[in-house]
Chains A and B, each alone.
Chain A
């Protein structure tokens, strides 16, 4: 092995570190240590000027290892890896030591101790850098094919978006028709287009598209392989079929909440959910006067937030479904315009007709809808009978009790997640506390999941309007496009490796790996690198110490521990 030549750089972080940790003392403690050729401090190591200086030093001293003591690797590991690459140094010969979060921020009142700890950590980092190896990312060729699960508005839009980019699409739907929640619907906001027609329009395009194959009455029943090249199984009528795809878009949707019989008067004649009422309106758009299941409707009462925003508790739906206020207001406008003789009363908690949807609230007010605000402590009581009687306390007249009669009470319910254990098992998708699939970050990475190559969109990740579902479907398509059209995926090479001469093929590790990345071949274990996530579950179970994760080799970890201990003893 070449003689080690390390550069050690310690960051002030503009005072974030140096106000507590004596960085000069840390520098002196490591200067001249075996293998250390350069030791410097910088006000901001991440600044372009400091990076240029470090690049110059790496080249000038022909450094073959690098330690930077600064912030968390979460923040700048990638910054400095790229810097190393620019200097012609293999990025995996760079080690980041965190003396901000772990020293100056954690121990602001003990500067002496914080400095001691920083010295020990930097020495540990040096021990790692001395043993670092040059590594190259694992490259996986991608297939320009994707699977979209769910043929609702989000799935249909995603499929079309992918096809337009030249990606072959396998569209899998559990029912025998496309359309999801919009299939049998009349006009929807904000376009006033009929849901049914929108679905038909999209479906015609998909049908014409040679790039998209659709599988009805089918569901996912197996997943193998890696991002860029999955081997997926779908089941249809008990028959299995294998499909290969580079990425998966989950657009499995949600379902409208239906109250239990008796809750909010549900189950009695004249009480329905908004979704049921909308389906009825779609079926009888021109009927005059307005009837609902044989009842003449002169007065229509909406109750908002049914089964939503419940007080915390087990299985409570504490969340707001965000689309239902607007949906109810839009329905009221529809009824006002077709059946102006119908009086409509809205019992609400808070109106959330956000953004431009405010126009439906104003329009409903203008049409003469009456709004009564109730408090969750005294929800409306609905008494069944020939004419329904509704009692509620109106917050806008100092909680006076109001009684009104109604022909139809429409419960405005939200959306709830559809639980699909199979999908969870095969895709290992994280689920949020509300039961919907969870994205990595709602604003910054809104359709990506923790599972590589699996994207989510539409109501599967939370309640939303049709407009928002379509937009997120297209967003998922764009992300899949960016992944697959690049031709290859690069992954961290910090994966498990087998020390051949120690392995006796006992197979203990094969069972320990949650990703199925290990397999026995002959009397040795083999790592399928593209499957391995480098999490190291296999390392401690191996009785022969024959498995290690690159970058965290047995020797490296032992040396790290020794030097941490020494560092503390010295300082």
Chain B
């Protein structure tokens, strides 16, 4: 089961959130986990708007033999790739290194979007191939999460 939500404007970020909330509810995620997934969808969709302009969020359900049911959120766009993904997931960092704290606000964020995604999901992968960028976040219903601070 999968569904794509195209991301073109700010209202689509809201649609993506509504969709993931519904899906998470069906899978048996609790209220807090559902709101966390809404934040994850929000951050991924906002990044599409910010760096690529347009793209798509795809939601899939997965069934892992050990971890049980889960949701995969794939954010795809054809924008510029992330220079260094391990930098980008660090708070206060961009894809090419530390962000200037004085300029954080003017870039429309606090430099912690992907960091929040890492904290609120069980797995985060990044792929870049032939101009197509894909950020894939997975969260399982069972709370067997690593703690990242």
> Do A and B interact?
no
